[in-house]
Homo-oligomer: A and B are copies of this chain.
Amino acid sequence: MPKIVDHDARRAELAAAVWRLASRQGLDAVTMRAVAAEAGWSTGALAHYFADKEELLVFAFETVADRVGRRIVEAAGHARDPLEILRTQLVEGLPIDVERRAEVRVWFAFLGLAETRPRLAQAGRNAYRLWRDRIAKTLAAGQRQGLVDDAIDPEREAAALIALVDGLAIQATFEPRALTAERQVELLDERLARLTLASAR
């Protein structure tokens, strides 16, 4: 392999192949052989990037986390009001369209696999910590601007809000008819309304 290979470009290529496989056929389908075939590489070339299946799965997980993370940062960039940013940081985790539904399915599939794979569990831990930190910071900003009840503990509240989003995502995945995109967002909005309501009590 020549030294001028653009490793970032190649990793992006691989990430796209992994995502296509996972979203189409589930994580079962993410094997060294299948990813190599999907990317049009040899398995030998792939082995250059990933020592084993677990490394490949960690990469796949980070690919999904990056997709969601990038969208959050982008959407939040358009907003100024902390409550609006907060809403964006949470809505992006809900399976409200085809793309997000695929992400959510794949995301939770990792949880099951992480059970027996420490590095994957670590990647999951990092992703949740990052999400929680971002939301806690937005809540604190909301408090400084008098938009969020001072009695709320930002970190605790962040955990509860993420829990609601993850939980809605699971039910919506199993029962898309009972929990439509509209209903998911309504339930989140009801919850968010309480952040300010509490101070009005």
**Interface positions of A (Cβ within 8 A of B):** 25-28, 105-106, 108-116, 121, 124-125, 127-129, 132, 156, 159-160, 162-168, 170-171, 173-175, 178-179, 183, 187, 190-191, 194, 201
Contacts and interface: CB of A to CB of B under 8 A. Distances in A.
Main SS class of interface, A? helix
Contact of A167 (B25, B167, B175, B190): B167
A180 to B, nearest CB: 11
A128 B124 CA distance: 25
B121 A174 contact: yes
Q: State the oligomeric state as a number of copies.
A: 2
A26 B112 CA distance: 7
6 contacts: A26-B112, A109-B111, A109-B113, A110-B112, A156-B183, A159-B168
Contact of A201 (B112, B165, B201): B201
B124 A28 contact: no
Given A129-B178, A175-B125, A112 B164 contact: no
Given A109-B115, A114-B174, A167-B168, 19 more contacts: A26-B116, A105-B111, A106-B112, A108-B108, A108-B170, A109-B109, A112-B113, A121-B174, A124-B174, A125-B174, A156-B187, A159-B171, A159-B179, A160-B187, A163-B164, A163-B168, A163-B187, A165-B167, A194-B194
Nearest to A107: B112
Nearest to A121: B174
A187 B167 CA distance: 14
Given A167-B165, A174-B121, A27 B160 contact: no
